[in-house]
Amino acid sequence: MNTVQGVVKMHMKDRVSWFYLPWIIVLSSFVVNLFIAGLVTTEDQLVTGGLASIFVYAMVSGIIGVHHTFAFALGLSVRRRDYFSGSMMMIAMTSVGTGLLLTLLSYIEMWSDGWGVDLFFFHLPYITDGNAVQQFIVFTSFLLFMYIFGWGISSLFRRFGKTGLYTMSIVSLLIGTLLVYAFIYWGWWNGVHDFFEGRSAFNLGLLLLPVSVVLSFVGYALLRRSTV
Amino acid sequence: MNAIVEAKRLTKSYGSFTAVNDVSFTIEANKIYGLLGRNGAGKTTIMHLITAQLFASGGELLVFGEEPFENNKVLKQTCFIKESQKYPDTFRVKDVLETAAILFPNWDAGFAERLVADFNLPLKRRVKKLSRGMLSSVGIIIGLASRAPLTIFDEPYLGLDAVARNIFYERLMEDYSEHPRTVILSTHLIDEVSRLLEHVIVIDGGKIMLDEEADSLRGRAYTVSGPVAKIESYMAGKQVIHQESLGGFKSVTLFERLGVTEQKQAEALGLQFAPVTIQQLIVYLTNRGPEQKGVLR
């Protein structure tokens, strides 16, 4: 078996973090919402943002994943490139699997009129406006991005330690502040508005894919020079 | 001669601190090496460099004739067991061993199973919950069962009791004779391993102090004792690495080979000889003040 597959199998040993935990979090939020929707007797639909938890979890999982497995894999004579490829395959597979499940749940929710109690947890305005393929791409692309974003943060920590994280936070904060001032001063908000105006979630999901790819290679560049 | 590791003027520095300083050595195939030295001498750094887990600041390092960095051909033949190895928090002993089985091409599952039984390791327990000694035995099992042509153990038995350490030595020797490979063993328990070692490299302050066959090292030094005056006259012009006196008696350890002439001279003076173990020799050599630390002849 080649090493990349070996790395995927290593990740798969941790089914709790990759599969059970995110669904336990989402489904417990869902069950609470279901109870509330069942108890509240208004005519209105109950639309909640509980689904965001799975995206936040994906980022946290990306951060913790590198932290736990990088030193372990290198200790078992895995080269950094194979660790990267295997981990990216695992992230992609998880995102696709989760994306498929979320799309399915979104349809079930739609067909069952919000589980019979007008609860909209998976089928959300704007997010799931498109057809099945488009919904799937939105879910998957955003999950992918969150995993890789977390992965990137953790890779930065592996490469440059605490100093790296602090420096990055301060620099991003400064750049962010300057940008906000620049936006206000030169009135660029219209441009931002024009960019998002009329753009579907599907379209944003597609745009996010190349961003994720670039980000993953930044993570790789950092890990390539990381030591254990 | 078949060189597995060749280091030439290898250097690793962290800012102004030089952990490994201009070190050159060769590790030959199918021998057991002892990489010995005090804490902070640079042993662990050298082992990390061999496995490309750290990057050298200078010099050249070839493992199996190639650069080890990102080189699967080298890494797949190497297994590095270190005391500080990290394991994923959620992994059980079973998960760790199964992952190692996937990643090491020569893994012997039957052997791993026997070792698990030897060390009484609970397979279903999380690695995080293991005692220090059990954690060490996980590393030892991986190191032995992976049968990597180059196997490196860095302080493999922290927290292991004498019985378990003995199991390790026995299994290592048995398996080594059936499946010869190159083993680098770094440890502080030199007396315990000295009978296993075929070659000894001693590192001190980031430099190589000794690089010799273990057999030749055993005759490299000796201790003589007797009345102060006689000892003083005997030790003149010889390389003294340790001395202690008690009342009118003095005992000195000399870093010299005991030749026939010296033996006769000493016998005429009525002095007593004692052999020096490798552990004592290394303690004396690495415990000297800076002014004494000349190059050893």
Assigned domain for B281 exists? no
pLDDT tens, B101-153? 999 999 999 999 999 999 999 999 999 999 999 999 999 999 999 999 999 99
Assigned domain for B257 exists? yes
- B179 and B239 assigned to the same domain: no
Between CA B99 and CA B80 the distance in angstroms is 15
pLDDT tens, A147-160? 999 999 999 999 99
Assigned domain for B199 exists? yes
Please judge whether B86 and A225 are an interchain contact, meaning their C-beta atoms are less than 8 angstroms apart: no
Assigned domain for B96 exists? yes
- B201 and B230 assigned to the same domain: no
Which of B99, B147, B150 to probe the A interface (max A CBs under 10 A)?
B99
Please judge whether B71 and A79 are an interchain contact, meaning their C-beta atoms are less than 8 angstroms apart: yes
- B202 and B81 assigned to the same domain: yes
- B184 and B247 assigned to the same domain: no
Q: Mean pLDDT for chain A?
A: 93
Please judge whether A76 and B103 are an interchain contact, meaning their C-beta atoms are less than 8 angstroms apart: yes
Number of domains in chain B: 2
What CATH number is given to the structural domain containing B259?
3.30.70.2020
B286 touches B240 (CB < 8 A): no
Which of A17, A61, A76 to probe the B interface (max B CBs under 10 A)?
A76
Residue A130 C-alpha, separation from nearest chain B C-alpha, in angstroms = 38
Examine the fold and report which residue of B195, B215, B235 is the final residue of a domain before the chain moves on: B215
Assigned domain for B109 exists? yes
pLDDT band at A74 (very low <50, low <70, confident <90, very high): very high
pLDDT of residue B207: 93
Kindly list the residues from chain A whose CB atom is less than 8 angstroms away from the CB atom of residue B54.
Answer: 227-228
Give the residue from chain A lying closest to B76, CA to CA.
A77
The count of other CB atoms within 10 Å of the CB of residue B235 is 17
pLDDT of residue B48: 96
Closest CB to A72 among B70, B79, B87: B87
Please judge whether B102 and A6 are an interchain contact, meaning their C-beta atoms are less than 8 angstroms apart: yes
- B56 and B113 assigned to the same domain: yes
Examine the fold and report which residue of B215, B238, B265 is the final residue of a domain before the chain moves on: B215
Assigned domain for B258 exists? yes
Assigned domain for B89 exists? yes
pLDDT of residue A207: 94
- B145 and B235 assigned to the same domain: no
Q: Does A39 touch chain B (CB under 8 A)?
A: no
- B232 and B210 assigned to the same domain: no
pLDDT of residue B218: 83
Residue A93 C-alpha, separation from nearest chain B C-alpha, in angstroms = 19
Give the residue from chain A lying closest to B89, CA to CA.
A68
Between CA B42 and CA B200 the distance in angstroms is 15
pLDDT tens, A189-198? 888 888 888 8
- B187 and B240 assigned to the same domain: no
pLDDT of residue B290: 57
Angle at B91 between CA B85 and CA B95, to 5 degrees: 95
B161 touches B143 (CB < 8 A): no
Kindly list the residues from chain B whose CB atom is less than 8 angstroms away from the CB atom of residue A79.
Answer: 52, 70-72, 75
Listed by number, the residues of chain A in 40-79 with a beta carbon closer than 8 Å to a beta carbon of chain B are 68-69, 71-72, 74-79
Say how many Å lie between the first and final Cα of chain A, rounded.
25
- Grouping H, G, I as helix, E, B as strand and the rest as coil, residue A120 is strand
* Residue from A80, A79, A124, A82 nearest A103 by CA: A124
Residue ranges of the alpha helices (H) in chain A?
A: 3-12, 15, 21-39, 52-75, 80-111, 132-186, 189-196, 201-224
- B226 and B114 assigned to the same domain: no
Kindly list the residues from chain B whose CB atom is less than 8 angstroms away from the CB atom of residue A227.
Answer: 48, 53-55
Give the residue from chain A lying closest to B56, CA to CA.
A227
Please judge whether B70 and A71 are an interchain contact, meaning their C-beta atoms are less than 8 angstroms apart: no
What's the whole-number mean pLDDT along residues A63-74? 93
* Residue from B38, B43, B9 nearest B26 by CA: B9
B271 is in which domain, residue-wise? Answer: 222-275
pLDDT of residue B146: 97
pLDDT of residue B293: 54
Higher pLDDT, A228 or A101: A101
Kindly list the residues from chain A whose CB atom is less than 8 angstroms away from the CB atom of residue B90.
Answer: 14, 16-17, 68
pLDDT of residue A112: 93
Closest CB to B102 among A9, A16, A72: A9
Using CB atoms within 10 A of its CB, is residue B103 exposed (0-12), middle (13-18) or buried (19+)?
Answer: buried
- B249 and B201 assigned to the same domain: no
Q: Which residues pair with B251 in a beta bridge?
A: B225, B244
What's the whole-number mean pLDDT along residues A85-95? 97
Residues of B with CB under 8 A from a CB of A: 48, 51-55, 70-72, 75-76, 78-80, 82, 85-91, 95, 98-100, 102-104, 142, 148
The residue ranges of chain B whose pLDDT is under 50 are none
pLDDT band at A1 (very low <50, low <70, confident <90, very high): low
- Grouping H, G, I as helix, E, B as strand and the rest as coil, residue A142 is helix
- B208 and B264 assigned to the same domain: no
* Residue from B34, B46, B38, B4 nearest B200 by CA: B34
pLDDT of residue B237: 86
Kindly list the residues from chain A whose CB atom is less than 8 angstroms away from the CB atom of residue B87.
Answer: 72
pLDDT tens, A165-221? 999 999 999 999 999 999 888 888 888 888 888 889 999 999 999 999 999 999 999
Kindly list the residues from chain B whose CB atom is less than 8 angstroms away from the CB atom of residue A72.
Answer: 85-88, 91, 99
Give the DSSP letter of residue A125.
Answer: T
- B172 and B261 assigned to the same domain: no
Residues 6+ apart with CB under 8 A from A128: A106, A122, A135, A138, A201
pLDDT of residue B288: 75
Assigned domain for B292 exists? no
What CATH number is given to the structural domain containing B20?
3.40.50.300
